[in-house]
Amino acid sequence: MEHELLQLTSQISPLDLGWLARAQERLDSLTKPQGSLGRLEELAARYVAIREEIFPRFERKRVVVFAADHGVVAEGVSAYPQEVTFQMVHNFLNGGAAINVLARLVGAGVEVVDVGVNHEFEPGMKLVSRKVAYGTRNMAKEPAMTREEALRAVWVGVERAQEAVEDGVDVLAPGDMGIGNTTAAAALTTVFTGRPAGAVTGRGTGVDDQTLSHKVAVINRAIALHKVTGDDPLGALAAVGGLEIAAITGFILAAAAARRPVVLDGFIAAAGALVAVRLVPAVADYLVAGHRSVEPGHQIILDHLGLKPLFNLQMRLGEGTGAVLAMNLLEAGVRIYREMATFAEAGVAEKKG
């Protein structure tokens, strides 16, 4: 499976600066002072360069929520019990979660994928069942996954992105659900950015000070136990990551290979992006940071990847909520680029000199 992953990643190339220049030339010809629409222009130019089309379409949006459980919950790092993961999957499928509400608002489809929930779901549900394992193992005592399991979870994400592209989806966002996943994300952030666990670890579901200190200690113990380094991204992902984070990594890689932008949500999605960019640095060109999470590790990842979030609403829910809100900003930029009149078309005088 590593060979197939290598074949996929070989298809990812950095953005062509020529396409960025062509997009900017059109943006500069529109009936406005140059640069006056700020980051909307930046988003439009990036979208054109990603798609490599002078008038790319922007019609279909999709968020794919990857759900999985984490064995490290046994260490007492979360304020919520593990069964919340499968209960929230039911909520997603019934359309009652925040991601469902916000996706309906922006016209995005929602797909829910079981990549590692510690629960048997009833047949016939509108759930994409791709279970690799019934959750990870406790990283504080043994590797969270085998390398094979991590690769299989990555490939779940690859296939979901590829199917979305085949369905005609233009912009993608990975979402997440998994009690305990901020512990895994913080561990990966420490490994790949070199920042101490205490600086990247937040309260997740809302733990108190004592539990937060314990959470940091658990992360440090796991990293030391497995001698994790950033030199082997898949090895690090297997040792201290999560099945849904692995799937997000594959989802991002496949989207970039298919020349589709990926709008990132918060800390968990960013951790998956961190692994993807370590595997293929050019992946960073295809990422749009939707928002800035309250989790401290999220800003550290964004700085490490050179990404600037579009907004900060003090959100920390996950599920893809910040990403779908940001999709409207990306679409606004593309609509400006496509639909706004040029000075010549409108018969408006341009700036003197």
> Where does the pLDDT of residue 134 fall: very low under 50, low under 70, confident under 90, or very high at 90 and above?
very high
Is 122 labeled as catalytic in the residue annotation?
Answer: no
pLDDT tens digits along 216-251: 999 999 999 999 999 999 999 999 999 999 999 999
52 and 171 in a common domain:
no
- The answer to whether position 71 is within a domain reads yes
Q: How many domains does the chain have?
A: 2
Q: How far is CA 303 from CA 9, 262, 299, in A?
A: 23, 17, 6
> Where does the pLDDT of residue 124 fall: very low under 50, low under 70, confident under 90, or very high at 90 and above?
confident
Q: Are 46 and 288 in contact (CB under 8 A)?
A: yes
* Structural domain harbouring 9: 2-56+337-346
288 and 322 in a common domain:
yes
In angstroms, rounded to a whole number, what is the distance separating the alpha carbons of residues 210 and 213? 5
- The answer to whether position 273 is within a domain reads yes
pLDDT of residue 1: 80
152 and 29 in a common domain:
no
User: For the domain that residue 198 is a member of, what is the CATH number?
Assistant: 3.40.50.10210
251 and 209 in a common domain:
yes
**3-state SS record for 61-126:** EEEEEEEECCHHHHHCCCCCCCCHHHHHHHHHHCCCCHHHHHHHHHCEEEEEEEEECCCCCCCCCC
Catalytic residue among 41, 319, 339, 345: 319
Percent of the chain clearing pLDDT 70 (strictly above): 100
- The answer to whether position 353 is within a domain reads no
pLDDT of residue 353: 63
136 and 35 in a common domain:
no
127 and 44 in a common domain:
no
Angle at 151 between CA 127 and CA 225, to 5 degrees: 115
Q: Which two tokens stand for residue 343?
A: 């000075």
289 and 202 in a common domain:
yes
200 and 161 in a common domain:
yes
Average pLDDT over residues 137-164: 98
Q: Are 34 and 80 in contact (CB under 8 A)?
A: no
Positive or negative torsion for Cα 44, 298, 101, 112: positive
User: For the domain that residue 22 is a member of, what is the CATH number?
Assistant: 1.10.1610.10
- The answer to whether position 8 is within a domain reads yes
145 and 20 in a common domain:
no
Q: How many CB atoms lie within 10 A of CB 242?
A: 37
- The answer to whether position 351 is within a domain reads no
One-letter identity of residue 309: P
